[in-house]
Amino acid sequence: MMNIFSVLYCEIRKVCRSKVFWLVFLVFALAPIMMGIGTISSSGPNESSWQMYLSQLLNSLSGLGLIGYTFSAAWVFGREYTDNTIQDLLVKPVSRGNIVMSKMLVILTWDILLSIYMFAIALSIGGFMGLTGWSSALIMNIFIRFFITSLLFIIVSTPGAFLANVSKGYLAPIGLILIIVIFSSVLASMGFASYFPWTIPSVFLGSGFLSFSSILILISTGIAGIAGTFVWWRFAEQQ
């Protein structure tokens, strides 16, 4: 057990001491600020309520989160290849499963922090712009739905980790997720949002409900990403 904590400590340190980690937070602060101000400015004088603001803004932010979550998953694994530290990592008396597990936990923590951070920035902008209709119950309600949506997006970002390992870098998964985001809006407009893994979380954000088939697709995608990564580390050749 101490073994995994030690590996986890190393992974946390590697991420926190990198510039990329802090740069992500900087970039994901700018987006809610600009989108938040834009949302408020474009709404009419009677529409400037917390309810209207958050429901409009969080829809865009949760989608943006998908790019962030995929980036973190891809970077945590992919940087080992681009820095050429992967071979170092494989010749250690630590099971490869523990290394993957530690990396997954670090990614999960990073993503959760990023999601809460984006929500906090959105709240700050709303408060700064003097929105009306504040209610703690309302905010909590909206936050919980946003948070669950973020978790669902985190689940479907795991194939990004797998792809980073297969492609030995973080560029391929980032490229793919950008294509997926574009593809998602097309699929959603065609009415397939409940069946495409990367649009299902948005369905939940809008309705607060998911069908059994959507849940199954979501879980299968997450399991495929996680299991694929574990299997890759255990069995793939590292040329």
Partner 1 sequence: MHVFSKEKHSETAAIQIKGLHKTFGDYKALNNLSLEVKRGEIYGFLGLNGAGKTTTIKTLLGMLKPTAGELYMLDEKVHAGNYKLWNKVGYLEEATFYPDLTTIENLDIARRMQKVSDKESINQVINKLGLEPYKNKKAKHLSLGNKQRLGLAKAIIHNPEILILDEPINGLDPAGVAEIRNMLYDLAKNNDVTIFISSHLLEELSKVATRIGIIHNGCLIKEIEMDNLEQSLQKSLVIDGHDTNAIKTVLKDHSYEFEETKDGPLKLSDNRAVESPEQLAELLVTSNQPPTLLRVITEDLEGYFLRTIGKVRGNQ
Chain residues binding partner 1 by CB under 8 A are: 3, 6-7, 9-10, 13-14, 17-19, 83-85, 87-96, 234-235, 237-239
Nearer to partner 1, 22 or 128 (CB): 22
Which residues fall within 8 angstroms of residue 200, CB to CB, at 6 or more apart?
152, 156, 193, 194, 210, 214, 217, 218
Pairwise CA distance, residues 10 & 15, whole Å? 9
Q: Could you tell me the smallest distance in angstroms from the CB atom of residue 14 to partner 1? A: 6
Q: How far is the CB of 2 from partner 1 (least distance, A)?
A: 9
Based on the number of CB atoms within 10 Å of its own CB, is 203 exposed (0-12), middle (13-18) or buried (19 or more)?
buried
Rounded to whole angstroms, the Cα distance separating 131 from 30 reads 20
- The token pair that represents 148 in the structure block: 């669950």
Q: How far apart are CB 113 and partner 1 at their closest, in Å? A: 19
Nearer to partner 1 by Cβ, of 15 and 125: the residue is 15
Q: How many residues does the chain have?
A: 239
86 vs 139, beta carbon nearer partner 1: 86
Least distance from partner 1 to the Cβ atom of residue 117, Å: 21
Smallest distance, partner 1 to C-beta of residue 24, A: 14
Q: Which residues contact 11 (CB under 8 A, 6 or more apart)?
A: 76, 102, 103, 105, 106
Closer Cβ to partner 1, 23 or 223, answer by number: 23
Residue type, 27: V
Nearer to partner 1, 85 or 185 (CB): 85
Q: Which residues pair with 132 in a beta bridge?
A: 49
